[in-house]
């Protein structure tokens, strides 16, 4: 008996012989309608037998499974699995988009991260960076760069680490002081950082990045929660010690040829410390007023 499929010539461990025409077929062409069986009686029931047999396999086994319905059931199951996978993938994508939209609309930190990422790709457009970067010598000609420089970044590593810090500490500060006050701290820190860099820079190198604003956020959070546990290069320490470490490094590297605006970082820290002290003192005054016995 020929062990090759009469249609495609393929050989399989289990070949099938059609009970209508008697020819041998592979699993893909086992059904009469798949090999245009000339002996197919469309008004009668049919089933295919295994290799070397021509008996009717429509009878059920002990488990109650009908062998003749196997291919049709397989196709149905495959289609169901495909539909389920498509639905799950579509649902996951839709859920991710909805969560992203929700986080952007409810969290200023996430909105800033999103804008910075979009801006990072727009930097591929010729002239985009030159229009929005901060240059000390042209700060009065392009005053908008006091803000727009915060949404530009020089490299993938630059934006990755800035946005990583903003993701963790920005949202934490939002929770403690509210969205409006967070935006106030962030942008004032970034603007003062740009001015500080422009006033202290001996050369007119352009400046980009959100580091000054982020250092302001970090310093504000340090005043409000000085004992918060953070990790600096995987080393656990309190946030107040981490800020001291960053400040000492910036002081030590002022003037170093590393293309980092250390004076901008320090200017942002000064703003953050001031804002943190102001917010903390305001809260203390409110608590005292609430529990002042003279009110009664």
Q: Which residues are catalytic?
A: 211, 265
Where is 16: in which H helix or E strand? strand 16-18
CA angle (270 as vertex; 269, 275 as ends), nearest 5: 95
Q: Give the separation between CA 263 and CA 216, rounded to whole angstroms.
A: 13
Residues β-bridged to residue 50: 16
Give the three-class secondary structure for 230: strand
- Give 26-47 as a 3 state SS string: CHHHCCHHHCCCCCCCCCCCCC
User: Which two three-digit tokens encode residue 159?
Assistant: 């934006």
Which has the closest alpha carbon to 131: 116, 149, 117?
A: 149
């Amino acid at each position: 008996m020929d062990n090759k499929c009469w249609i495609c010539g393929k050989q399989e461990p289990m070949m099938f012989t059609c009970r209508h025409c008697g020819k041998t077929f592979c699993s893909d062409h086992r059904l009469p309608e798949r090999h245009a069986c000339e002996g197919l009686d469309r008004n009668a029931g049919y089933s295919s037998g295994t290799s070397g047999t021509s008996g009717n396999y429509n009878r059920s086994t002990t488990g109650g499974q009908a062998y003749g319905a196997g291919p049709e059931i397989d196709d149905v199951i495959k289609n169901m699995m495909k539909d389920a996978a498509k639905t799950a993938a579509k649902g996951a994508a839709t859920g991710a988009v909805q969560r992203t939209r929700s986080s952007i609309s409810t969290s200023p930190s996430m909105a800033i991260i999103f804008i910075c990422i979009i801006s990072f790709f727009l930097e591929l457009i010729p002239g985009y960076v030159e229009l929005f970067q901060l240059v000390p010598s042209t700060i009065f000609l392009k005053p908008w760069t006091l803000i727009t420089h915060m949404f530009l970044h020089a490299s993938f590593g630059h934006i990755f680490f800035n946005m990583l810090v903003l993701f963790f500490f920005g949202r934490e500060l939002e929770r403690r002081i509210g969205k409006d006050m967070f935006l106030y701290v962030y942008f004032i820190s970034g603007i003062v950082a740009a001015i500080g860099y422009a006033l202290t820079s001996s050369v007119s190198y352009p400046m980009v990045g959100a580091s000054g604003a982020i250092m302001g956020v970090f310093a504000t959070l340090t005043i409000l929660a000085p004992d918060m546990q953070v990790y600096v290069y995987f080393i656990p320490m309190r946030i107040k010690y981490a800020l001291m470490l960053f400040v000492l490094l910036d002081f030590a590297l002022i003037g170093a040829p590393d293309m980092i605006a250390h004076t901008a970082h320090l200017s942002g820290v000064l703003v953050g410390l001031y804002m943190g002290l102001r917010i903390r003192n305001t809260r203390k005054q409110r608590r005292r007023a609430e529990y002042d016995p003279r009110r009664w």
